[in-house]
Amino acid sequence: MKKAYVRFGLLLVLIFSLVACSGGEEGEKEVKKVDKTNKDVTIAVSATLTGMDPHDTNDTLSNSVQKTMIEGLVGFDEEMNVIPVLAESYESNEEATEFTFKLREGIEFHDGTPFNAEAVKVNFERVANPENGLKRQSLYGLIDTIEIISDYEVKFTLSEPFGAMLNTFAHPAGGIQSPKALEEFGKDVARHPVGTGPFKFVDWRPSEYLEVEKNGNYWKEGYPKVDKVTFKPVTENGSRVAMLQTGEADFIYPVPTEQVEALQGKDGIVVDSEPSIVVQYASLNTMKEPFNNPKVREALNLAVNKEAFIKVVLNGEADVLDSIIAPNVQYYEKQTPYGFDVEKAKELLKEAGYESGFKTTVWGGNSSTAVKAMEFLQQQLAQINVELEVLPMESGTLSDRIWSVENPADAEVGIYYGGWSPSTGDADWGIRPLIGGEAAFPPNSYNVSYYSNDKVNAGIAAALETANSDDRAAAYKIVQQEAWNDAPWIFLATTRTLAGKRDYIEGAYLLPDNSLSITEIEIKE
C-alpha cells in the first residue's frame, strides 16, 4: 500500500511537470497528416448558428450556411460583383423603380416543388410584409408590387427609386425558399430549410453541428463535388485552429490573426488572406467640442500611424483604409491617405487652440482586439498631448449609451472605435447608415459621428434615384471626397478575410463580406 502511494505520487508529479513544461510548445504548430478517403467535409466556424430562414437572419455566418441550401435570384462573385443565380438575366428602368428578372427554367426545390415566378412572388411578399415580423423586412420593405409576367418572368415595382436594389436582391436575405415549405412550416422554416441550392438539409443540433448533403438534382451541371458537409460551431479560437491541425476540420474560419503566421506554410495547411469590405475606424462626434473643429479631426488623423496600427492590432492582416468604404465595395474611389505626421498634427492642434492638448474618452466593444485597438490609439494620441481614456463596453451597454440615444445633444460619446461591414456590397449601405446626415443619427441608424454635410447628403440621395451606374459612381465620388476631407472618423484599416484549410480542399472561399462560398468545393486527390 505504501509503495502504491509513492508510485501514485510520482505519477502525479510526472503529469504535472509534463503539463507545466509543455506550455512553451504552444507556439509550435504540429500538423497531423490526413489521408482523405471520403468525400465528406467538416467546416469549423466561430459561432453558433441562429437560424436557417434567410428572411429572418442577420448574421453573416448563418447566411453562409443558408446559401449552401437556399439561393437568390442574383448573388455575389468573389469580388462582390452581382452575378445571376436563379435569374438568367435582369434589367431595370433608369429611375431604379422597376426591376425585371428572367428566371432559369426547369429548376426544382429540394422537396420537388417547381421554381417559378410564383415562388419568387411568394417569397418576397413574405419578407416584405411587416406583419410577418421578419428581421430582414426593411431590406425589401419598399417593394410595392410583384407582377408575374409569365411563368419565368417577374417584375418588381418599388414605391420609391432605390439605386442599390440589385445588390439588395443579391443579399443572402433574398434567398428563395420552397413555397410549399413556407406554407407547411411557417416560421419553423428556420429549422426546415428547403431551397434550390447545391446541398440539402439533413440535421441540425444547434450547439453541435449542422449537416447538409449533396443535392443530386442540382441545376449547375457537375456540382456539387462532395457528398456531405458538416458545419461545427467552435467559438474558442485555439480549439478551432487545433481542429485544423488534427484534421478534425478540413476548413476553418476565421483564422485568428495572431495564429496566421504559425499556421501558414505548415505542411498540409493553407491560410487564405484576402481583402474584406469591413472598415475599422474611430468616429469623432462632430457636434461636440473639440471634434467640431475640422483642424482637430485632421490632427487626430495625422497623429495615428496606420501601418503600425495594422501591425500591432491586426497582426498585419489588414490594409490602410483610404476612403469611407473599402475597395471591394461598389463605387469605391481611392482618396489620398492622411499619412503620419506628428509635427503637423501638433501644429494643427495649436492653430485650433489646443496647444496643450485635451482629455477625451474612446468607447468601444470589449473584445480583446477592440481593447488593443483603443489602447493603441491612446498611445498614439499621447504624442500630441491628447489624453485618451479607454472605455471598453459590453454590447448591451453600448446599445444603451450609443445606439439608443434619442437626442443628439444628449449623446455623451466622443470617440467611438468600431467597424462596419456593408452586407449588400453597395456603396449605399457602406455610407448612408454611418454618415448619412440627420436621418442616420442614432437611434435611427449608426451615424455616431453625428456628421451632416449637405453635399454628402445630396450625393447619397442622388445615387439612390437612378439605376445608371455612371451616374451613381459620379455621385459617390463626390460623397467620398467630401467625407474624406471632413474626416468625421480617424480612418484606420480594412481587415482581411482569413480562412484556413487543408491543402486538398479547393473551390471554397470567403467573400469580402466574410460569407462563405462552397458551391464549388471539392477534395483534390
Partner 1 sequence: MLKFFIKRILEVIPTLLIVTVFIFLFVHMIPGDAARLVAGEDATLEDIKLVEKELGLDRPLHEQYISYMGGLLKGDLGTSLKTRRPVSEEIGARFMPTFWLTVWSMVWAVMIGLIIGVVSATKRNKWPDYVGMFAAVSGLSLPSFWLGLVLIQIFAVQLGWFPSGGMESWKSYILPSITLGTGVAAVVARFTRSSLMDVLKNDYIRTGRAKGVNEQNIVWHHALRNALVPVVTMTGLQFGFLLGGSVVIETVFSWPGLGKLLIDSVAFRDYPVIQAEMLIFALEFIIINLVVDLLYGILNPQIRYD
DSSP 466: -
**Would you count residue 423 as binding partner 1 (CB under 8 A)?**
yes
**Would you count residue 191 as binding partner 1 (CB under 8 A)?**
yes
**Would you count residue 59 as binding partner 1 (CB under 8 A)?**
yes
Given 157, 378, 385, 445, the residue binding partner 1 (CB under 8 A): 445
- CA 305 – CA 339 distance, rounded (Å): 7
Task: Yes or no: say if 318 and 310 are a contact pair by the CB < 8 Å rule.
Answer: yes
**Would you count residue 449 as binding partner 1 (CB under 8 A)?**
no
- CA 271 – CA 269 distance, rounded (Å): 7
Cell numbers describing residue 328: 471591394
CB of 303 to partner 1, least distance (A): 29
Given 88, 108, 248, 522, the residue binding partner 1 (CB under 8 A): 248
**Would you count residue 264 as binding partner 1 (CB under 8 A)?**
no
**Would you count residue 267 as binding partner 1 (CB under 8 A)?**
no
What is the pairing mode between strands 87-92 and 98-103?
Answer: antiparallel
Which of these ranges, 319-327, 349-357, 396-404, 456-464, lies near partner 1 under the rule CB under 8 A? 396-404
Cell numbers describing residue 130: 411587416
Nearer to partner 1, 247 or 316 (CB): 247
- CA 422 – CA 445 distance, rounded (Å): 13
- Please compute, for residue 267, the number of CA atoms within 13 A of its CA located in the half-sphere on the CB side: 7
Given 396, 410, 470, 525, the residue binding partner 1 (CB under 8 A): 396
**Would you count residue 19 as binding partner 1 (CB under 8 A)?**
yes
**Would you count residue 186 as binding partner 1 (CB under 8 A)?**
no
- CA 474 – CA 482 distance, rounded (Å): 13
**Would you count residue 289 as binding partner 1 (CB under 8 A)?**
no
Helix axes 294-303, 342-351, angle to 10 degrees: 160
**Would you count residue 245 as binding partner 1 (CB under 8 A)?**
yes
CB of 283 to partner 1, least distance (A): 15
**Would you count residue 58 as binding partner 1 (CB under 8 A)?**
yes
Name the helix (H) or strand (E) containing 88: strand 87-92
**Would you count residue 145 as binding partner 1 (CB under 8 A)?**
no
**Would you count residue 236 as binding partner 1 (CB under 8 A)?**
yes
Residue 268 CB coordination number (10 Å)? 15
User: Using CB atoms within 10 A of its CB, is residue 160 exposed (0-12), middle (13-18) or buried (19+)?
Assistant: exposed
**Would you count residue 171 as binding partner 1 (CB under 8 A)?**
no
**Would you count residue 35 as binding partner 1 (CB under 8 A)?**
no
Given 114, 357, 408, 433, the residue binding partner 1 (CB under 8 A): 433
- Chain position carrying cell 428572367: 102
CB of 12 to partner 1, least distance (A): 5
**Would you count residue 18 as binding partner 1 (CB under 8 A)?**
yes
Q: Which amino acid is at 448?
A: V
Task: Yes or no: say if 118 and 103 are a contact pair by the CB < 8 Å rule.
Answer: no
- CA 442 – CA 213 distance, rounded (Å): 43
Given 32, 359, 455, 524, the residue binding partner 1 (CB under 8 A): 32
HEC string for 320-345: ECCCCCCCCCCCCCCCCCCCCCHHHH
Which of these ranges, 129-137, 320-328, 372-380, 469-477, lies near partner 1 under the rule CB under 8 A? 129-137
**Would you count residue 408 as binding partner 1 (CB under 8 A)?**
no
What is the pairing mode between strands 82-84 and 74-76?
Answer: antiparallel
> Closest by alpha carbon to 171, among 44, 50, 57, 52?
57
Which of these ranges, 83-91, 327-335, 417-425, 494-502, lies near partner 1 under the rule CB under 8 A? 417-425
Chain positions contacting partner 1, by CB under 8 A: 1, 5-6, 8-10, 12-13, 16, 18-20, 22-23, 25-26, 30, 32, 48, 50-51, 56, 58-59, 130, 133-138, 141, 187, 190-191, 205-208, 232-236, 238-239, 242-243, 245-246, 248, 394-397, 399-400, 403-404, 420-421, 423, 429, 433, 443-446
